[in-house]
A and B are shown apart, each in its own frame.
Chain A
Amino acid sequence: MLRLSVPVALAALEAAQDEIERHLTAADVPVAVQLRVRLVVEELLANLVMHGRFAGEPPPMRLAVATLPDGVELAVEDAAAPFDPRTSPAPPLSLPPEERPIGGLGLAMVRRSATVRFYGAAEDGWNRTVLWFPAR
């Protein structure tokens, strides 16, 4: 299990992504799965940076990565106002791409790249989202 504390800032993203990638490579996780994890970590952090509502200065988000025989589990905890990634509106694909709201694009990618296994409150009241990446 890899545990990371990642500041809610785009400048912190790459180091976290690279550390997760090293962990997944060491566990022989297929590259295609690694790229999906990389994408989801980026979209969730970028979403927090751009849209997260915090009471004061945002504390770092917590990530936990577990490699299992049949896939990868990623647990994300943040202190933003509650936001359920399962039920946020998808971008309306009926609109031309240039007219779609940009914000929904990232969450649509999250939902396509992983299964959201759990969303709810962590023990300390933070948001907890658990995502599953099957090793297909």
Chain B
Amino acid sequence: MVRFEIVGLGPEAQKIVMVGRLDATSVGSIETSFTAAVAAGGKSVVLDLTALEFISSLGIRLLLSATRPLGRRGLKLAMFGAQPMVADVLEAMALGDILPLVATEDEALARITG
């Protein structure tokens, strides 16, 4: 199961907190709502992964497709706080520039506003 919560972060960014397991079983349950939430905010996004326990290739595909509309509007997405399994998977796929992963929320904010 996976869910997400949107937290305001001021005029330039919104924070989205991802909780649970983002996998083949769960990704369909948030695909539409997550993509819409990322796009509708009209802001850059910091994605809080501290409570995300698991991610698979279908989870990564959702993150990539949800991020694409941001780039077209000059907005960015940065992720922080990944647990070891999630960090390992994300780093292995060399998603660096489009889905950057940093350690802390402050670093993520610096990434999207810098």
Please list the residues of chain A having a beta carbon within 8 angstroms of any beta carbon in chain B. 10, 13-14, 32, 35-36, 38-39, 42-43, 45-46, 91, 93, 96-98, 102, 105-106, 108-109, 112
Contact = CB atoms under 8 A, between A and B. Distances in A.
Nearest to B25: A14
Contacts of A93: 94
Nearest to A31: B85
Interface of B: 23-25, 53-54, 56-58, 60-61, 64, 68, 84-85, 88-89, 92-95, 97-99
A109 to B, nearest CB: 6
A105 B24 CA distance: 13
Contacts of A42: 23-24, 56
Contacts of B95: 97
Contacts of B89: 39, 109
A24 B20 CA distance: 20
B84 A109 contact: no
B54 A35 contact: yes
Decide if the interface of chain A is mainly helix, strand, loop or mixed: helix
Contacts, number: 58
B93 A97 contact: yes
B94 A102 contact: no
Given A97-B94, A98-B98, A108-B93, A46 B25 contact: no
23 contacts: A10-B24, A13-B23, A13-B24, A13-B25, A32-B84, A32-B85, A35-B53, A43-B57, A45-B24, A46-B56, A46-B57, A93-B94, A96-B97, A97-B93, A97-B94, A97-B98, A102-B57, A105-B57, A105-B60, A105-B61, A105-B93, A106-B57, A109-B93
B98 A96 contact: yes
Contacts of B24: 10, 13, 42, 45-46
A92 to B, nearest CB: 10
Contacts of A13: 23-25
Contacts of B84: 32
Contacts of A14: 25
Contacts of A10: 24-25
Contacts of B61: 102, 105
A46 B58 contact: yes
B16 to A, nearest CB: 19
